[in-house]
Amino acid sequence: MKIKYEPDSDVLIMILRDDPPVDAIEEPGGVIVSYGEDKEPVSVELLNASLRKLIQPDEVSVTFQTKTAVSG
């Protein structure tokens, strides 16, 4: 997964796969999900990212949290 921020448009983009999008749906709250030919998500865009305090353009920090499945 790649994450990029476009300060000119104030959009935070999470690129899930490198496949080109063929369709997109805008969800409530300024979220756009783009889908590939296989109808699976390829990216998620968060509009007005700095206004929504999702990102501070002068200080970018990303934390990933993973969960390990435990079988017992």
Q: Convert the pLDDT of each residue in 25-69 to its tens digit.
A: 999 989 999 999 999 999 999 999 888 887 776 666 555 556 665
- Residue 34, domain member (yes or no): yes
* Entry pTM: 0.74
- Residue 12, domain member (yes or no): yes
Q: How far apart are CA 39 and CA 41, in angstroms?
A: 7
Count of structural domains within the chain? 1
How would DSSP label each residue in the chain? -EEEEETTTTEEEEE--SSPP-EEEEETTTEEEEE-TTSSEEEEEEETTTTTTS-BTTB-------------
- Residue 25, domain member (yes or no): yes
- Residue 16, domain member (yes or no): yes
Range of the domain at 18: 2-47
- Residue 56, domain member (yes or no): no
- Residue 26, domain member (yes or no): yes
- Residue 55, domain member (yes or no): no
- Residue 54, domain member (yes or no): no
